[in-house]
Amino acid sequence: MAGRGARTPGITPELLLKAYAAGIFPMAEAADDPQIFWVDPTERGILPLDGLHLPRSLKKAIRRQRFSVTVDSAFVAVVDGCAEPAPGREKTWINRQIRDLYLALHREGFAHSVECWEDGRLVGGLYGVSINGAFFGESMFSRATDASKVALAFLCERLVRGGYLLLDTQFLTAHLERFGAVEIDRDAYQAMLQDALSVGATFYPAGAGTSDSVLQLFSQTS
């Protein structure tokens, strides 16, 4: 369940960062709704970075290197891809104000994307917000089988090697459960969040971002 706060007509990137650090995040009812509301779930989805599971079928997909995976090379296109209607997601919560806010955070170095390419075409990816040792996953999309899953695997490898303590998925889905995601209550989440915010981390660790480095890490954790 999600606890909603008051709607607000406008927020700044700085206020958005403070909101994440306090454990809340913004959403809109629909792309054409100009207003934003704050969400503070009573049960929070997280993907434990010390208990990641990579399904065998996904390991095979990574090993085949079907996709070329990049980081922060097409942030705007990833956000727009996440805002597109998709099966089971006919409406998006990403309105114009939210889009502008995350683009601003990206320019300031607080928001990142992982992209999957096939034959030069963007076929999947994800984006989120990074503050110290916490990464707040926002959304992902896929135009090809396994594209978003591969992006998630590459993100997780980067976070583990970069020293992050928390990967916040906001809500729990069947897709994320396959990787070991779980729900925790608000108090447990707040404790994990404060621990993560107290440590330094890097989104660009040396040696991360190749199929071999991902498979090597997950052979130890899966």
Residue 19 lies in a domain: no
CA-closest candidate to residue 161, choices 214, 102, 111? 214
pLDDT at 31: 58
Q: Tell me: pLDDT of 4 over 60.
A: no
Contact in structure between 33 and 95 (CB atoms under 8 Å): yes
DSSP E strand stretches across 68-204: 68-71, 111-118, 121-131, 134-142, 166-170, 182-185
Contact in structure between 28 and 83 (CB atoms under 8 Å): no
How many whole angstroms from its chain centre is CA 87?
20
CATH number reported for the structural domain that contains residue 145 in this entry: 3.40.630.70
Mean pLDDT score across all residues of the chain: 89
Structural domains in the chain (count): 1
Residue 7 lies in a domain: no
Residue 26 lies in a domain: no
Whole-structure pTM value: 0.90
Residue 49 lies in a domain: yes
CA separation for the pair 31, 195 (Å, rounded): 34
- Distant-in-sequence, close-in-space partners of 185: CB < 8 Å, separation ≥ 6: 42, 43, 44
